[in-house]
Amino acid sequence: MCAQSAHTVPTPGNVAQEDAVLSTMQDVPLLISRILTHGSSIHGTSQVITWTGEGAPQRRSYAEIGSRAAQLAHALREDLGVSGDERVATLMWNNAEHVEAYYAIPSMGAVLHTLNLRLPAEQLTWIVNHAADRVVIVNGSLIPLIAPLLPHLKTVEHIVVSGPGDRSPLADTHVQVHEYEELLAGQPVAYDWPELDERSAAAMCYTSGTTGDPKGVVYSHRSIYLHSMQVNMTQSMGLTDQDTSLVVVPQFHVNAWGMPHATFMTGVNMLMPDRFLQPAPLAEMIEGERPTHAAAVPTIWQGLLAELTARPRDVSSLTQVTIGGSACPPSLMEAFDKLGMRVCHAWGMTETSPLGTIARPPAHVVGTDEEFAYRLTQGRFPAGVEARLTGPGGERLPWDGESAGELEVRGPWIAGAYYNGPDAEPLRPADKFSEDGWLKTGDVGTISPDGFLTLTDRAKDVIKSGGEWISSVELENALMAHPDVAEAAVVAVPDDKWGERPLATVVLKEGAAADFATLRAFLQEERKIAKWQLPERWTVVEAVPKTSVGKFDKKVLRRQYAEGALDVTQI
Nearest to 185 by CA among 68, 25, 314: 68
**Per-residue mark of binding to a second copy, 377-406 (x: CB under 8 A):** ---xxxxx-x------------x-------
What angle do the packed helices 62-74 and 96-107 form, to 10 degrees?
50
Nearer to a second copy, 19 or 496 (CB): 19
Angle at 81 between CA 77 and CA 83, to 5 degrees: 70
49: DSSP letter: E
460 an active-site residue?
no
Give dist(CA 60, CA 43) in Å, integer: 12
For position 15 contacting a second copy by CB under 8 A, the verdict is yes
Nearest to 132 by CA among 425, 420, 415: 420
Figure out which of the listed residues 348, 379, 411, 535 binds a second copy, where binding follows CB under 8 A: 411
For position 106 contacting a second copy by CB under 8 A, the verdict is no
For position 217 contacting a second copy by CB under 8 A, the verdict is yes
Nearer to a second copy, 132 or 327 (CB): 132
CB 304 within 8 A of CB 283: yes
Q: Please give the residues from 303 up to 342 whose contact with a second copy meets the rule CB under 8 A.
A: none
Catalytic residue among 198, 351, 476, 500: 351
Figure out which of the listed residues 66, 163, 214, 238 binds a second copy, where binding follows CB under 8 A: 238
Catalytic residue among 284, 319, 464, 474: 464
Q: Which string of DSSP letters, residue by residue, matches 278-327? A: SHHHHHHHHHHH--SEEEE-HHHHHHHHHHHHHS----TT--EEEE-SSP
309 an active-site residue?
no
Nearer to a second copy, 115 or 300 (CB): 115
**Beta-ladder partners of 501:** 493
Give dist(CA 47, CA 263) in Å, integer: 10
Nearer to a second copy, 125 or 220 (CB): 220
For position 267 contacting a second copy by CB under 8 A, the verdict is yes
**Per-residue mark of binding to a second copy, 444-473 (x: CB under 8 A):** -----xxx----------------------
Q: Measured from the CB of residue 469, what is the shortest distance to a second copy in angstroms?
A: 24
Give dist(CA 279, CA 273) in Å, integer: 11
Give dist(CA 364, CA 357) in Å, integer: 19
Chain center to CA of 151 = 30
Q: Measured from the CB of residue 63, what is the shortest distance to a second copy in angstroms?
A: 10
For position 426 contacting a second copy by CB under 8 A, the verdict is yes
Q: Measured from the CB of residue 244, what is the shortest distance to a second copy in angstroms?
A: 10
Give dist(CA 62, CA 42) in Å, integer: 9
| DSSP-H helix ranges across 77-132 | 96-107, 121-131
For position 92 contacting a second copy by CB under 8 A, the verdict is no
240 an active-site residue?
no
Nearer to a second copy, 419 or 561 (CB): 419
CB atoms within 10 A of CB 16: 6
Sheet harboring 215-220: ordered strands across?
176-179, 158-162, 133-139, 87-91, 111-114, 201-207, 215-220
For position 20 contacting a second copy by CB under 8 A, the verdict is yes
Q: Please give the residues from 121 up to 150 whose contact with a second copy meets the rule CB under 8 A.
A: 132
183 by Cβ neighbours in 10 Å (0-12 / 13-18 / 19+) ranks as buried
Instruction: Kindly determine how many residues on this chain lie close enough to bind a second copy according to the rule CB under 8 A.
Output: 111
For position 18 contacting a second copy by CB under 8 A, the verdict is yes
For position 114 contacting a second copy by CB under 8 A, the verdict is no
Catalytic residue among 52, 207, 319, 456: 207
**Per-residue mark of binding to a second copy, 531-570 (x: CB under 8 A):** ----------------------------------------
Nearer to a second copy, 371 or 553 (CB): 371
Question: Among the candidate windows 94-102, 323-331, 443-451, 513-521, which touches a second copy by CB under 8 A?
Answer: 443-451
What does the chain come to in residues?
571
CB atoms within 10 A of CB 498: 16
Does residue 354 have a cis peptide bond before it, meaning omega lies within 30 degrees of 0?
yes
List the end-to-end C-alpha distance of the chain, in Å, as a whole number.
72
Q: Please give the residues from 26 up to 85 whose contact with a second copy meets the rule CB under 8 A.
A: 26-28, 30, 34-35, 37-39, 41-45, 77, 83-85
Figure out which of the listed residues 229, 296, 376, 407 binds a second copy, where binding follows CB under 8 A: 229
CB 432 within 8 A of CB 418: yes
For position 247 contacting a second copy by CB under 8 A, the verdict is no
Q: Please give the residues from 357 up to 376 whose contact with a second copy meets the rule CB under 8 A.
A: 360, 362-364, 366
Q: Measured from the CB of residue 374, what is the shortest distance to a second copy in angstroms?
A: 12
For position 200 contacting a second copy by CB under 8 A, the verdict is yes
464 an active-site residue?
yes
Give dist(CA 107, CA 453) in Å, integer: 35
Question: Among the candidate windows 238-246, 295-303, 539-547, 560-568, which touches a second copy by CB under 8 A?
Answer: 238-246
Q: Which residues are catalytic?
A: 207, 351, 464, 469
